Structure 1
């Protein structure tokens, strides 16, 4: 399932772009971080209010839906670790949630 708009390559590209935005200190950055951190660990990092899609531009919303489309094609859980992005996610937890991770 690597081909098409919801393939692993498209999802990895979308994730990289979203991580870059989530590192910025903007309203869109906060919303993107909420999305990524809800995927990473919603119980501890908070969930993503769907209405936050209204606060990002169409390109970012498309990247988010690419991730959702990719995840919807699989049975079982897939997290950013599957894309080799654990370090980046831990960085976002520290930046946006102010608590330690291992």
Structure 2
């Protein structure tokens, strides 16, 4: 079943909220974007310093840990594409990073 704090539905809801936050222009938005882009492609987009969790409010930290919990329950790699969020991720790359994507 798709229930519980680390279900795909919970992860999708957390991702949607994090994308919304990353589209804004705050210090928390930058930290959220760092998390999402590290998940998307850490090698090219940079990594997420765990200490960045200290700079977000508890609700945002819960959204991040929901995604991490979901990812930890599955074998193999799962990226935002699994949630049909490729366009949004490319938008965030353009907003927060200074290079082109396909």
TM over 0.5: yes
Matches within 5 A, 1:20-99: 20-99=20-99
Shift, 1:51, TM fit: 0.2
In structure 2, the residue corresponding to 1:87 is in which secondary structure? helix
Instruction: Write the deviation string for residues 22-74 of structure 1: whole angstroms up to 9, x where unpaired.
Output: 00110000000000000000000000000000000000000000000000000
TM-score computed with the length of structure 1 as normaliser: 0.99
In structure 2, the residue corresponding to 1:19 is in which secondary structure? helix
In structure 1, the residue corresponding to 2:47 is in which secondary structure? coil
Aligned length: 102
TM-score computed with the length of structure 2 as normaliser: 0.99
In structure 2, the residue corresponding to 1:78 is in which secondary structure? coil
Instruction: Give the whole-Å Cα distance in 1 for the aligned partners of 2:17 and 2:98.
Output: 23
Structure 1 runs (4+) greater than 3 angstroms displaced: none
Q: What are the ranges of 5 or more consecutive residues in structure 2 without an aligned counterpart?
A: none
Q: What are the ranges of 5 or more consecutive residues in structure 1 without an aligned counterpart?
A: none
